[in-house]
Amino acid sequence: MVQCRKDSTKPLGPGILLTVDKPVDTWYYLKDFLKENNVKLTFYIEMYQDLQDTSKVKMKALMADGHEMAHHTSTHPHSDDYVKQYGIDAYMKKEIFAMTDSMKKDGFNPVTYAYPFGDCTTELDTRLLEHFNSLRKVLGTYMNKRIADMDQVYFRYGDIKLFYGIGIDVRYNRSLDEVFEALEKAKNSRQTVSLYCHYLSVDGKPHEGSDSHILEDDFKKIILKAKELGLRFYTASEVSRKKY
């Protein structure tokens, strides 16, 4: 079914939005590969104040290649529980503004945001959209649905305020065939699909025993498949509704 709009917003064209919910360190290993293949990732940075200077240098180098550095809170809390206990003003001050200020002092300007764990409320959506162009939520692995059957992670127009991502880490048990099927749907429906992961596992080694990672070889295959299908790689800012 063709989506219709009364406004003049143009379709993005078939694409893929790849977001990473961890700092850049493990991903810096793929810097040259990403650049050679015109891949742009959005890194939702958490706990920026705790990062080493070496990590910040890597962030700047990747940002210079077109990758986006976005916001993922100061302490990665369950946002709904935090607000219930301390109030939304405390959340905005400690989890949002404090880290935004620190990032801006170092030359970063986070304009998009992802909820830790996907935990959110309508009240938080409203407050956060006063400061960010878009908010990313997450879909869980439920009802044995394949990614291609989750219409919530597909979109056509670059004016998104609220959108979902689906995880493709090892922990989510998504096969390459399933991910390829999702990419093919993006091509055939002329939409963009939103996928996220955490750490990059180099040489098949899990990140410090965690299964919140994607294997380097699998990730490269996904990138090359997306290129074969002619999908464009978007950042969160590029698909977001700009604030004026």
Q: Mention every residue, 6+ apart, whose C-beta is less than 8 A from residue 151.
A: none
pLDDT of 142: 59
Please report which confidence band the pLDDT of residue 118 belongs to, taking 50, 70 and 90 as the band edges.
Answer: confident
Which of the given ranges, 112-126, 178-192, 199-213, has the highest pLDDT on average? 178-192
Residue 197 burial class via C-beta count within 10 angstroms: exposed 0-12, middle 13-18, buried 19 and up: buried
pLDDT band at 1 (very low <50, low <70, confident <90, very high): very low
Name the DSSP class of 242.
Answer: P
Classify domain 15-239 at the CATH topology level.
Answer: TIM Barrel (3.20.20)
Q: What is the mean pLDDT of residues 158-176?
A: 93
**Over 70: is that where the pLDDT of 2 sits?**
no
Mean per-residue pLDDT, 72-94: 95
What is the rounded average pLDDT of the residues 55-75? 97
Give the pLDDT confidence score for residue 144 in this predicted structure: 75
Whether the pLDDT of residue 112 is over 50: the answer is yes
> Quick one: which of 196, 175, 193 has its CA closest to 229?
193
Mean pLDDT of 78-82: 93
Share of the chain above pLDDT 90, in %: 82
Q: What average pLDDT does the segment 209-229 reach?
A: 93
At residue 208, the pLDDT reads: 73
Which pLDDT tens digit goes with each residue over 4-47?
Answer: 444 446 788 899 999 999 999 999 999 999 999 999 999 999 99
Ordered DSSP codes for 20-45: ESS-SGGGGGGHHHHHHTT---EEEE
The gap from C-alpha 61 to its chain's centroid, in whole angstroms, comes to 19
SS (H, E, C) 43-55: EEECCHHHCCHHH
* DSSP, res 129: T
**Helix residue spans in 117-198 (DSSP H):** 122-128, 176-189
Give the chain's mean pLDDT: 92
- pLDDT class of 158 with cuts at 50, 70, 90: confident
User: What would the mean pLDDT of 82-97 be, rounded to a whole number?
Assistant: 96
Average pLDDT over residues 51-78: 97
Residue spans of beta strands (DSSP E) within the chain: 15-20, 42-45, 68-71, 112-114, 134-139, 154-155, 162-167, 192-197, 199-201, 213-215, 232-234
Rounded to an integer, the average pLDDT of 170-190 is 96
Neighbours of 94 (CB within 10 A): 16
pLDDT, average across residues 86-94: 97
Looking at residue 244, its pLDDT comes to: 57
